[in-house]
Amino acid sequence: MATPLADALNEIVEKLGNSDNFVRLVLSGRRRNMQTPNERIDVKPVLIKGEIKYQVAQSDGRAMTTKNYSPQEFLKLGLLEAGFANIHLEEKDQSISLRITKKGEALLNRARGEFSADLSHDRNKSRLLDPSDPFLIEVGISDSGGKVKASKNDKYLQVEEFLRLLIPSLNSAIEAGHIDKPNEKSPLTIVDLGCGHAYLTFAAHQYLRSQGIAVKVIGIDIRESARARNNEIAKKLGISDSIEFRAEEISETTLKSADVAIALHACDTATDDALAWSVMTGAKLVLVAPCCHHDIQAQMVEIPEPWSMITKNGIMKERLGDLITDGLRIQIMKLSGYRVEAIEFIGGEHTPRNLMIRAVKTGAVADSSEEKRYQEMLSLWKVKPALATLLNR
């Protein structure tokens, strides 16, 4: 249910005034017909000369700049009302996500959790994953000394940010009754579709276990070499009883169900395979960060006017194709009984593929106007989404 925007913003402001409980704030996305001062803003508390300051890191998509303010000075900046569509606040005992819709409505999502602030005066935020954790060394993100390899830093940060969104999304789904509360006899089941080197697979398993959540994690990847390697790592870590890997096509996997389906940068239509599997098996929570998009781009032959003004430029046509692809995916998920949103899960300086599709199965029947809008989009662009084909719609 929507909350009055003024009330939602006032709640965030009030909580930001309590610096002792503040852990992190992220502002991202752009509201309709508004221009934000930067692409993304990250805020964290830092301790300077015995005083708490709010360190503001702003990204324009190319460079990051930081500046420190007192909590009162920060609030006077008015960044909460600067046109951002997504506001994510973490306190020590909960997270609050505020999404402002095209109509200017405020959608609030609260989730219980435990978060800690790193008050060091640098740009390193508090980490969910200790770089010296044996699993990070085994999968090749950290070196033998327990330090993140320079070549793997972006991947490490991507996995961390994925987890930061997984945890509150999972807690919220459990509290809403969409997912049963897990226990050792009935653990939470998670499948990583297109797991590859299993960075995210192991991270989700290890972090959730460290939080006392009973889980069973399955990684799916077509390559037998990946299955053998990852199962061997699980054996070395002594966790083979709660994590396993299979060498299978996503579309043909023998796995029939899971509470949560995740996929980090499954290439091209492998993302569609992951979403189709999720819909067909009734996965309760789906978190997918798409990778390259070729399917719809290849179908963009008859360009409706006046869109040729954009598509005549190759790079702009490619980006438009990305948006159309993910827009259609989201619409299909909505029509399949999911509450869906597109969010940024990490700053663009770490990967250009920083969009995440987050979907929760509610079983709600979509309004007839949603189907009409979907059909109009197909007719306008004369395309057939791979996901639609996989779901026979």
> Block means of pLDDT (10 residues each) for the chain, length 393 residues?
82 90 88 83 88 83 74 91 90 89 85 78 66 93 93 90 87 88 95 95 94 94 96 96 96 95 88 96 96 90 95 92 95 96 68 80 92 96 96 92
- 117 within a domain of the structure (yes/no): no
Residue 29: per-residue pLDDT: 81
Residue 350: per-residue pLDDT: 46
Residue 167: per-residue pLDDT: 86
- 367 within a domain of the structure (yes/no): yes
Q: Which of residues 78, 112, 146 is at a domain's end?
A: 112
Do 152 and 260 lie in one domain? The reply is yes
Do 99 and 21 lie in one domain? The reply is yes
- 118 within a domain of the structure (yes/no): no
CATH code of residue 340: 3.40.50.150
Do 239 and 381 lie in one domain? The reply is yes
How many Cβ atoms from other residues are within 10 Å of residue 247's Cβ? Answer: 17
- 119 within a domain of the structure (yes/no): no
Do 238 and 90 lie in one domain? The reply is no
Do 181 and 309 lie in one domain? The reply is yes
Do 269 and 354 lie in one domain? The reply is yes
Q: Which of residues 60, 78, 112 is at a domain's end?
A: 112
Q: Which of residues 58, 81, 112 is at a domain's end?
A: 112
Do 281 and 182 lie in one domain? The reply is yes
- 124 within a domain of the structure (yes/no): no
Do 239 and 141 lie in one domain? The reply is yes
- 376 within a domain of the structure (yes/no): yes
The structural domain count of the chain equals 2
- 120 within a domain of the structure (yes/no): no
Do 50 and 140 lie in one domain? The reply is no
What range defines the domain where residue 57 resides? 5-112
Do 245 and 152 lie in one domain? The reply is yes
- 122 within a domain of the structure (yes/no): no
